[in-house]
Amino acid sequence: MMTVAAARALRDGTVCFVGIGAPSLAANLARRTHAPDLVLVYESGTIGAKPSVPPLSIGDGELAETADTVVSVPEIFTYWLQAGRIDVGFLGAAQIDRFANLNSTVIGPYDHPQVRLPGAGGAPEIAAACRSVIVLIRQNLRTFVDRLDFRTSVGFGDGPGHRERLGLRGGGPQLVITDLGVLRPDPRTCELVLCQLHPGVQLDEVRARTGWDLAVAEQLTVSEPPSDTELAALRALQRREAKGSLTSD
């Protein structure tokens, strides 16, 4: 449901900065269903990639072989991303707060963490410069926290006006998709608001898995279940992904 919801959020013809895993699966699902002209950009420098199988990493040769062009990593960041030429960027994280700030650095104190996470990578630049950001994250009390252990990537900072004070070019997270539902920032307060529940999910369940007093839209809707077309395309991609993993071993 997360993958399908993310794919539906991508419009045909937009330029999308894609990560490996669920974001890549969602973007390629969109290309195979309603957005054949979606432009996929990967951090390794491939622009307009059209992989026939989900890539194993940003360095997967499938991306370069199917791309419209390949440029250097510095060009991807300086000319394309930081200059505001990317429409949509995907991000994930270990923690998210009510203003969609993200932590992918440490769990616990920075100097003596309980867990050392992979770190920032290109996430802060994606969060700062993309015209909009989609966050994919599973929802529970470990991920949806009242206070981040470390702020790796800025969503809306401490609230209204914070991104502007920092001089950030992009629009920030416009969609947070979880395994329970879909949240959007309130245009006035910048706080995340639950707008959709996935089929079979109850509101009390979402509240119980959120580390703050969750705001809920007045018109709370239920996500449309995946269509037969979406399921067929997704399962085909997953079969190719499994086949590719076996081949790589």
Per the CB < 8 A criterion, the answer to whether 101 and 31 are in contact is: no
Q: Is 241 considered catalytic here? A: no
Nearest in space to 166 (alpha carbons), one of 155, 182, 176: 155
Q: Where are the beta strands (DSSP E) in the chain?
A: 15-18, 39-42, 46-47, 69-70, 88-91, 95-96, 102-103, 106-107, 115-116, 132-136, 173-177, 181-185, 192-197, 215-222
Question: Which is catalytic among the residues 43, 125, 191, 230?
Answer: 43
For residue 214, the tally of other CB atoms under 10 A from its CB is: 18
Please list the active-site residues: 43
